[in-house]
Structure 1
């Protein structure tokens, strides 16, 4: 073991030297290339095998596998070979005694499906959980035991470069201005907070997650920190096949998910159905010191909160992929999601005077219930022309979501056993979204490509929020105008883009330009606040890559991005999740513009893949969250609001490592160190009516690291563990402390590998707590928050007519295939 540790350490320290190492002289090398496709549909067969067996010396065998685009490149000694092309459940093609003395291009090799072979063919390779590429990272959910029985939030928290805080907020390289898509579209997330929406989708419905940190002009300019695309499962194997997964856990985590697929040469019919019942107990505490103008303590408040969220959800999608002919595919997908939940929130507030003498104990109990419903229809049309890569894609999608949330909030004086107040709230959100898109790709010559397209994104969101107080004198409910409001948010974004890329020897480049026209209406109907924001912007992008060898390359990229404020951030009315900590939106919030630069390097060895990058983002009109104290209904309340404060410079260094020291052991690690410098100030009016200025100028350093290990133990047991650490971070008004957490999982195949039993523990040491300190002129506050306590889950998966590690082909060529992106629909 000591020798192994020494070898790993030496390998990591020698990365730069190894990349320059020269190979010994050897026999003449030839390059063998080509593409393997499915004969009936012309779709690429990713991870098909190519075997070269020396005709004179059969013991000499070499070969390789196709990438996810069906393309293979193999280097071998010149000679005479028996060449064989194979893929699971397809008839193999074999060429005997083929003399290969020079570079050989086989062109397109089409394999014909043969369903009868399914049970007889053994699996040759297993996809790794994380695929590291120069311009993106792909996280394959199917191989990850740790997220079994979890949600999409759990999935994202295991993706390299991505972190999810204890409240479910997603950040990419420490930047929360990230665009999150589902199947390449913003639809399907509903009108609710995106962190909450991700907790409604089961992890078992996800095929993979694609991460692109610096998107090209083809993609939405939205998201200053990059794009995360969540790709849901769509069956693609020949005949009838599928998987079913049942889960149970403690705290209550019960669910059932099934994916069934039926594919012929004319069409592919697929569906995924899932139901889950989950409880998520959480807790928090806040200790506050209130100060006078001299900084002396005047009183104390200690708040303790416990809640137990309950969510019952049903998710379903139905799809039909119709092969009109060998060059035309039409896919229609219908998705439906429904959930209901409860969130009983029990809060005790202990108030003390300056001498720590108890003054009062208040109990505030919020009995919250919620119902969500989402319907989504998508249609995709692809026309492929004669030249490989020449195609036209048209996408249309419509989605509608309704979110209905109600709460009863009684408050009592515990010491005197008397009622203080009784409130009830109702929050109704309705969202309609339409997406229109077309993309055209034209190859020019052998190594150049032109692209152009249009995207129209139209979003209409209505939020109706009401608060009523019970009048004990009259015995009637009365509206509270301080919080009751109706907000209408309408967004119309039309975009055009074009880009051109080419490869010259070992160097390739891609330049593009995107134009987006934004027309946004913010109508606060309660106070008759009507705002319209119209602006259009150009978003250039440029990418330069150089291949030192087939296993070593570097890239330099630039793109311009935008982050538009969302409805919650612009609604000036506060929510009542707490009566001493309120969030209030800012209707005057402007979009933030980001210039993103990235320099990356990728090196591959037989057992090791190393990917590192240096990045710099400069954001104008950056958003910061200002905290100040206000008196509401006689209570001192900490109010948090977003404001544009100036410029934010983010500089960082990241590396991702994938290491397979043995066939039975795989390691993945990710490390990110960044420096965040903010320059700007904000002026507001304090409780005394005087003007005060907060200087947000601040320089903060932080980092996070994650390591994941998967080991194949004896008796067919797989063991997987990961550990994540988020370092402390400071801001202008306080700091957050470091968070460390660990997950553990075991699995074993049963029933002749048709079934898998998995046991996992999320947050093994129950340590995922956000700890923050806030320092203001009027108060100092210390808080701890644990969104979800340790979770233990047991799951069973059964596969019929489908092998465990069988590669599922994607239904169509994605943007990721075209130019290294992370979004299936581009635009």
Structure 2
């Protein structure tokens, strides 16, 4: 038994142990009882957002706390015993009483007296509330989305958005940073409800790593968006909500992180709120080193040697070498630095009107060094022997790359409330600019002899304007009409310059420039209502798309000027039925569109090296999907369960075609194409369970079937040098799984640790076989300095098993690819919190453009 087999067995047993420990913990915990009550003032009026702390006289492990709601009510589960009950609220004196809790029930009203001075806020006492009054539910289910709160995610502390997404229900992150939902990677990202320059880097993995985990308030998972959302993103939408303070006075936190591979960062979240004005500043930076490896083995079939060709014939031209086998092994070291800062303010002009203004700047700089060794077996024609002879060569390639990205974004918003019945209007404007430069130097050696040196310079500039207006009109007690308009105007400029030390006719085609312009106009109308236990929401969205592409090539190809226009209707239907107070059935349908990325439509768009080239497809069209979901939601004090059956049917589905233009070479081209249909159906199950005060469980299971149809055809040159037509069959079907379990153990009120197990099942098609993958992560967190600080430690991929292995099949070759994007990493982070004021009531405050608490296209939410 080799080392890999031992690690695989040990890893699987450890994953199983996580489940076993969690199940065993159920049997040995103490039974809790449900307690409820209210907090009132001396006039017997309810006090909202008061903290109620139950301190057990026997053991601190049994203590717990809660915040009252808008009606002054609270609920919590505690073990029977003797408790000191502490009640605190802004502008009120602290109150402490003793009570014996013997059974479940309502303990009645707890009364507190106001302070003599309404501005006397005891921030020192309130700091303890921040520690103890944590949300017991890491995610919640709503009519059209799920909301995930990463505050209790110990494993991602000090990490990035990519680390947080690895723990979000219904979401998985591949080894190369590719994000998928329910097995499909066509995910639309939003920041605070809109596209953002924060995710404007072409490299998706770098983009995810540029947003610190400590700046994320929550993530909204929208698997089947309504008509109020933009229609792109056929797999769904991930809306990243960044932190904004909800407390008066000066508040903030600073987080520093050290890790290995060298991983350092320092981030701060600061805010100041007084009267009608709120200021905020978020920013920081980090340095990261990484090392990934890639192994590729290619075996070529059906070798045809044209020995009947007469080399003395005047029509004879020397063919290129005909490959039979190739083995490549590469290691890539990368170094990156990123900095970001966001500042802004919100001003309440009146009780009904507020304005907000914010600005953001982000920089990303990265260096990479890749060393590749390639063993090539091939046939070469020998004029002396008048025959094709087998040869073996060793090719070495050193690639050094430099890329940098600079992004700016400015946002303005105006919110007005016409009355107290919910009639609102919101206007917003966002201006974004993103500039990216990528330089690569590629040197090749054959049998230790210098062959060629290629230099590639690619530059892109992206400018975006987004304008929106949203209107809400309540109708009666249970109905609402919503309408809105949105305009997106994008201008993208791409330039590419490639030079070489050899005369290579292909190089010229990668010297080009492209101007890509697109404009989207969208209108939506949505009506929601509830009759008894039955709720419904009907919506219709109309999107008009206009795309213009001006492509200029210096390699001999003619210029291309093309225009594409689309006008599509996107309906959505949401139905819900409350079986009981805590049980709900959800049924919904929506139609979505997958528009090609602008970068995918630029011919000859990316030259990384002559053997692996990505080309755009100017004829690429959108694909469309019809999505259905049937869900059932159960929410209790100790657990939530949300099983969902889903089905998605896609037409003109976008696929990546990997092919050879010339079968006499080992050069591979990757090109996006429209191909056939794709069907996905399955069960998406998410749950949380808090059996005891010291144990929390969160898990997800996605079992899905897939069926793909379609055959791609392309122009090629066969092994004899004759033009022909090649084909690749994408047809395939099967069943795959995604599974995740998080187990959090609370040792005491200040110390917790967390285990996370992840599994991704294998997936097959006619031309590709992707193997399964599993990983285990560990995190620990300790509160220090009387609640002002937290120290966290985590290990990502304990057994170094997070990798991807794919076998690809074609009529003339078989290819194996193994890739590990990130090896095992660990880090330690330290958080320091400044004095923090109590939360103020937000129910009557209007929304701002930078916080989308509602998760819809309106970009709203409290500051």
Shorter-chain TM-score above 0.5: yes
CA change 1:807–1:604 in 2 (3 A) is farther
Asked if 2 retains the 8 angstrom alpha-carbon contact of 1:300 and 1:356, the reply is no
Asked if 1 retains the 8 angstrom alpha-carbon contact of 2:625 and 2:651, the reply is yes
What corresponds to 2:802 in structure 1?
768
CA change 1:400–1:687 in 2 (3 A) is same
What corresponds to 2:757 in structure 1?
723
Q: Equivalents in 1 of 2:646, 2:752: separation in Å? A: 36
CA-CA distance at 1:291 after TM superposition = 1.5
CA-CA distance at 1:325 after TM superposition = 1.2
Asked if 2 retains the 8 angstrom alpha-carbon contact of 1:131 and 1:138, the reply is yes
**TM-score with structure 1 length normalisation?**
0.85
> Paired residue for 1:697, among 719, 727, 731?
731
- The answer to whether residue 425 in structure 2 is matched with residue 395 in structure 1 is no
> Paired residue for 1:492, among 516, 519, 531?
519
What corresponds to 2:125 in structure 1?
120
SS in 2 for 1:752: helix
SS in 1 for 2:23: helix
Q: Equivalents in 1 of 2:770, 2:20: separation in Å? A: 37
What corresponds to 1:133 in structure 2?
141
CA-CA distance at 1:541 after TM superposition = 0.7
What corresponds to 2:319 in structure 1?
none
Asked if 2 retains the 8 angstrom alpha-carbon contact of 1:115 and 1:238, the reply is no
CA change 1:73–1:534 in 2 (3 A) is farther
What corresponds to 2:219 in structure 1?
209
What corresponds to 1:779 in structure 2?
813
Greater strand share, 1 or 2?
1
> Paired residue for 2:833, among 799, 821, 824?
799
> Paired residue for 2:181, among 168, 172, 182?
172
SS in 2 for 1:176: coil
> Paired residue for 1:605, among 625, 633, 636?
636
Asked if 1 retains the 8 angstrom alpha-carbon contact of 2:192 and 2:851, the reply is no
What corresponds to 2:32 in structure 1?
none
Asked if 1 retains the 8 angstrom alpha-carbon contact of 2:323 and 2:666, the reply is no
What corresponds to 1:306 in structure 2?
331
CA-CA distance at 1:358 after TM superposition = 7.3
Cα distance per residue 1:477-532 (max 9 Å; x no partner): 99931322222221100001111111111111110111110001122222411221
SS in 2 for 1:428: strand
SS in 1 for 2:177: coil
Q: Equivalents in 1 of 2:274, 2:834: separation in Å? A: 17
Cα distance per residue 1:391-412 (max 9 Å; x no partner): 1111100010110111111111
CA change 1:529–1:818 in 2 (3 A) is closer
- The answer to whether residue 23 in structure 2 is matched with residue 5 in structure 1 is yes
CA-CA distance at 1:432 after TM superposition = 0.2
Q: Equivalents in 2 of 1:174, 1:211: separation in Å? A: 15
What corresponds to 2:497 in structure 1?
466
Any gaps of 5 or more consecutive residues in structure 2? 1-18, 28-35, 55-63, 77-84, 96-113, 306-321, 380-387
Instruction: Between 349-358 and 608-617, report the one with greater CA deviation.
Output: 349-358
Q: Equivalents in 1 of 2:600, 2:690: separation in Å? A: 45
> Paired residue for 1:733, among 758, 762, 767?
767
SS in 1 for 2:660: strand
Any gaps of 5 or more consecutive residues in structure 1? 10-29, 40-44, 53-61, 77-83, 95-109
Cα distance per residue 1:602-656 (max 9 Å; x no partner): 0022211101101111111111222222239x73212222211121111111110
Number of corresponding residues: 760
- The answer to whether residue 562 in structure 2 is matched with residue 544 in structure 1 is no
Cα distance per residue 1:78-125 (max 9 Å; x no partner): xxxxxx99875454899xxxxxxxxxxxxxxx9997561322245263
Cα distance per residue 1:728-762 (max 9 Å; x no partner): 01123111101111211111111111111111111
SS in 2 for 1:326: coil
> Paired residue for 1:755, among 789, 795, 803?
789
Larger-gyration structure (1/2): 2
- The answer to whether residue 342 in structure 2 is matched with residue 324 in structure 1 is no
- The answer to whether residue 673 in structure 2 is matched with residue 655 in structure 1 is no
Q: Equivalents in 2 of 1:294, 1:73: separation in Å? A: 81
What corresponds to 1:341 in structure 2?
366
CA change 1:228–1:51 in 2 (3 A) is same
CA-CA distance at 1:662 after TM superposition = 0.8
SS in 2 for 1:550: coil
**TM-score with structure 2 length normalisation?**
0.81
CA-CA distance at 1:429 after TM superposition = 0.8
CA change 1:72–1:637 in 2 (3 A) is farther
Q: Equivalents in 1 of 2:666, 2:399: separation in Å? A: 20
CA-CA distance at 1:546 after TM superposition = 0.6
CA-CA distance at 1:580 after TM superposition = 2.7
> Paired residue for 2:172, among 163, 168, 176?
163
CA-CA distance at 1:547 after TM superposition = 0.7
What corresponds to 2:670 in structure 1?
640
Asked if 2 retains the 8 angstrom alpha-carbon contact of 1:468 and 1:479, the reply is no
CA change 1:46–1:283 in 2 (3 A) is farther
> Paired residue for 1:362, among 391, 395, 410?
395
CA-CA distance at 1:697 after TM superposition = 2.5
1:99-498 maps to which residues of 2 (within 5 A)?
A: 114=119, 116-121=121-126, 122-123=128-129, 125-128=133-136, 130-135=138-143, 136-188=145-197, 189-190=199-200, 192-292=202-302, 299-352=324-377, 359-413=392-446, 415=447, 417-471=448-502, 480-498=507-525
